[in-house]
Amino acid sequence: MTTGPSAMAQAPAATNPFLQEFNTAFKVPPFAEIRAEHFLPAFEEGIRQQQQRIGAITMQRSVPTFENTVAALEKSGDLLRNVSAVFFNLTSANTNPDLEGISRQIAPKMAQNSDDIYLNPALFHRVKTVYEKRNALQLTPEQHRLLEKTYKAFVRSGANLDAAKQARMREINKETSLLTVKFGQHLLAETNQFELIVDNEADLAGLPASLKTAAAISAKEAGQEGKWRFTLHNASVMPFLQYSANRPLREKMYKAYINRCNNNDERDNKEIAGRLASLRAEKAGMLGYASHADFVLEENMAKTPAQANDLLNRLWEAALPVAKNEAAEMQQVMDREGKGEKLEAWDWSYYADKVRKEKYNYDAEELRPYFQLENVREGVFAVAKKLYGITFTQLKNIPVYQEDVVAYEVNEANGDHIGVIYMDFFPRGSKRGGAWMTSYRKQATENGKRVAPVVSIVCNFTKPAGDQPALLTPDEVETFFHEFGHALHGLLSNVRYETLSGTSVPRDFVELPSQIMEHWAFEPEVLKMYAKHYKTGEQLPASLVKKMDDASKFNQGFVTVEYLAASLLDMQYHTLAPGEKVDPLQFEKHQMDKLGLIPQIAPRYRSTYFQHIFAGGYSAGYYSYIWSEVLDSDAFAAFKETGNIFDPATANSFRKNVLEKGGTAEPMDLYKAFRMRAPEVKFLLKNRGLEK
The catalytic residues are 483
Backbone angles phi, psi at 137, to 5 degrees: -90, 150
Q: 673 near 657, Cβ under 8 Å? A: yes
Give how far Cα 120 sits from Cα of 59, 113, 161, 441, 588, Å.
12, 11, 11, 27, 39
The bridge status of strand 444-446 relative to strand 436-441 is unpaired
Q: What crossing angle do the helices spanning 97-118 and 78-93 adopt, rounded to 10°?
A: 140
Cα 690 off chain centre by: 26
Cα 107–Cα 71–Cα 161 angle in degrees, nearest 5: 55
Residues 548 and 671: beta-carbon distance below 8 Å: no
φ/ψ region of 223 (left if φ > 0, alpha if ψ in -120 to 50, else beta) reads left
CB contact at 8 A, 109 and 87: no
Q: Quote the Cα angle for 519-233-325, to 5°.
A: 55
Identity of the residue numbered 49: Q
Residues ≥6 apart with Cβ < 8 Å to 429:
192
CA-CA-CA-CA torsion sign (277, 283, 288, 294):
negative
Taking alpha carbons only, the member of 103, 125, 258, 109 closest to residue 184 is 103
Report yes or no: 577 and 281 within 8 Å, Cβ to Cβ: yes
The H or E element containing residue 454 is strand 454-458
Strand, helix or coil at 348?
Answer: helix
Residues 236/268, Cβ–Cβ less than 8 Å: no
Largest CA distance in the chain: 86
DSSP reduced 3-state for 344: coil
567-577 burial by CB neighbour count: b if 16+ within 10 A, else e?
A: bbbbbbbbbbe
Report which of 411, 311, 376 is spatially closest to residue 518, judged by C-alpha positions: 376
212 touches 365 (CB < 8 A) = no
Report which of 443, 463, 459 is spatially closest to residue 451, judged by C-alpha positions: 443
**Which one, of 21, 13, 81, lies nearest residue 46 by Cα?**
81
As a whole number of angstroms, the distance between CA 38 and CA 18 comes to: 8
Beta bridge partners of 417: 411
Q: For 373-434, where are the alpha helices, taking DSSP H only?
A: 373-388
List 468's β-bridge partners, or say none. Answer: 465
Cα-based distances in Å from 152 to 63, 156, 654, 668: 21, 6, 28, 19
CA angle, 448 then 451 then 454, to 5°: 170
